[in-house]
Amino acid sequence: MAMAKNKTLCFTCNKEKITYPCKGCSKEFCLVDLTQHRQILTKELLHITFEYNKLKQTIHEQTQNPQNDLLIKQINQWEIKSIEKIQQKAQEYREILIKSSQTCLSNIEMKFNDLTEQIKHFQKETDLNEINLNHLRNQLMKIRQELNNPSKITVKEDLRSFFNESLIISTKKPTFNKWKQNAMIVAGGNGEGEGVKQLFYPEGIFIDEKKNIFIADYWNHRIVEWKHNAKQGQIVAGGNGKGNQMDQLNYPTHVIVDQQNHSIIIADSLNRRVIQWLNQNQQILIDDINCSRLAMDQHGYLYVSDWKKNEVRRWKMGKYNNEGIVVAGGNEQGNELNQLDFPKFIFVDEYQSVYVSDQNNHRVIKWRKDAKKGTVVAGGNGQGRNLNQLSQPEGVFVDDLGRIYVADCVNDRVMRWCEEKKEGEIVVGENDQRDQLCGPCGLSFDDEGNLYIADCDNYEIKKFEIIL
């Protein structure tokens, strides 16, 4: 920028002053507005620097994990259910046997009493003979036989009926869901801006049980909720300008909802804090952290990825007066299996395994609970567009069958990976249509299996309906 000598109209305040030209935008600014203009440029530079960290080249070392958690879980569940069925059947048979035995014993007792009367009778009679004795002997033998097997029930294993209920392990490929390629815009879609119908670089999203969408509206420094089928959003956190006050946010990157108390938990990135909003009351949960993304598991633990320390930490909900526990990374920046390089989105499954979109390593890496290193489950073959590659992965989601969905940001597509496979398949964005996806970030699913994408560079949230 160079100083101007003549007075001209300032582009911002529209007053005639000594102005200074900006070579980049070719506009004239007074000294005050020039300072503000430079601050804006500095912010943009900060964002560009933030994104620049995505572009580091990496080396991949991928290992196969022969164990399939899902199948092991299915076998375990089958074992438990089979044991339960056997125990139920055994109890039924016991009850049948006891009831039958009681009935038989009553009959035996009646026959025994009758035999007693016969013996007494013959003891009094003088005409006792071999026929009478033989009759008594036969009666006594029958009663003894019935006593030894009162119910006349035999136990026999029917292996055919057992195996008919046994688990069948098939090597056939599972049927993969598909989604309509023509997306529905369910939030935003009216260009960049701060209006209630607009978004400005949406990043993280959360879909609750009512299909309401919570959006981290990054450049607008706010969290917006779009009710299901709503035409506009409503601000539920922030929206009071950029700042570090309790009612302000500073470039929020992610939001999740604690559905126990319906509070909103936010990664307030440039304020370096994780903050909770509950009925417009704010509470800082974790401070002094370079928070990137959030996740919560079914046991009530909160997970936070730290892009600067290259790690993911875990906290017990309600207990934030400690440093948390490192559950992924934490071994400085790098591309080894015990390292991360600019971790972004995280997903935690029911076993507390942590999936991390390891952005600058162009991979998704899985850390089992208490593991010292991770396993690459998607990408990891350098940056690229091939089916075995990712380019700056963002959002990650794992379904009930263990299939991994990744927002492949630079490639403008969503991919699905099976953990044991060496390459993935394209779910959305196969035709490289930038109007379909442009810089996808967060992704999620509703309870019907519909796919939601935070389409950042298109300033909208898109819904891809599942094909049943």
What is the structure's pLDDT at 435? 61
> What is the DSSP secondary-structure string of 106-168?
HHHHHHHHHHHHHHHHHHH-S---HHHHHHHHHHHHHHHHHHHSSS-------HHHHHHTS--
- Tell me what the mean pLDDT of segment 390-419 comes to: 95
- Tell me what pLDDT residue 176 has: 74
For residue 423, pLDDT beyond 70: yes
Q: What tokens were used for 6? A: 């003549």
**267, 269, 273, 277 alpha-carbon torsion, rounded to 10°:** -40
pLDDT for 158 beyond 80: no
Compute the chain's Rg from CA coordinates.
36
Q: How confident is the model at residue 109 (pLDDT cuts 50, 70, 90)?
A: confident
Q: What is the pLDDT of residue 61?
A: 45
pLDDT of 134 reads 61
Note the pLDDT of residue 284. 96
pLDDT value for 70:
62
Mean pLDDT lowest among 25-34, 87-96, 122-131, 147-156: 147-156
Point out the least confidently predicted range of 66-70, 136-140, 167-171, 425-429: 167-171
pLDDT of residue 76: 82
Amino acid residing at 242: K
Q: What is the pLDDT of residues 197-247, one digit of tens each?
A: 999 999 999 999 999 999 999 999 999 999 999 999 999 999 999 999 999
**At 9, which amino acid appears?**
L
Higher per-residue pLDDT: 430 or 271: 271
Tokens 């989601």, residue?
A: 397
Q: What is the pLDDT of residue 217?
A: 97
Is the pTM of the predicted complex or chain greater than 0.85?
no
Determine the pLDDT at residue 7. Answer: 81
DSSP letters for 40-109: HHHHHHHHHHHHHGGG-------------HHHHHHHHHHHHHHHHHHHHHHHHHHHHHHHHHHHHHHHHH
CB atoms inside a 10 Å sphere around CB 7: 13
Q: What pLDDT, on a 0 to 100 scale, did the predictor assign at position 41?
A: 82
pLDDT for 171: 46
Query: Residue 440 is encoded by which pair of tokens?
Result: 């996808």
Q: What tokens does 464 get?
A: 């891809």
Give 59 or 426, the one with higher predicted confidence. Answer: 426
Residue 163 has pLDDT above 50, yes or no: no
Buried b (16+ CB within 10 A) or exposed e, 328-347: bbbbebbbebbbbbbbbbbb
pLDDT tens digits for 351-396? 999 999 999 999 999 999 999 999 999 999 999 999 999 999 999 9
pLDDT of residue 302: 96
Of 387, 300, 310, nearest to 344 by C-alpha is 310
Question: What per-residue confidence (pLDDT) applies to 2?
Answer: 45
Average pLDDT over every residue of 106-110: 77
Digit-coded pLDDT (tens) for 34-89:
888 888 888 877 878 777 776 665 444 445 454 556 667 778 888 888 888 888 87
The pLDDT > 70 percentage for the chain reads 83
**Number of Cβ within a 10 Å radius of residue 319:** 11
Q: Is the pLDDT of residue 172 over 60?
A: no
Quick one: which of 327, 406, 315, 425 has its CA closest to 361?
A: 406
Distance CA 196, CA 468 (A): 33
Q: Domains (ranges, CATH) in the chain?
A: 94-151 (no CATH), 178-467 (2.120.10.30)
Residue 2 CB-density burial (10 A; 0-12 exposed, 13-18 middle, 19+ buried): exposed
What distance in Å separates the CA atoms of residue 363 and residue 384, rounded to the nearest whole number? Answer: 11
Q: Which of 250, 245, 246, 220 is nearest to 234 (CA)?
A: 220
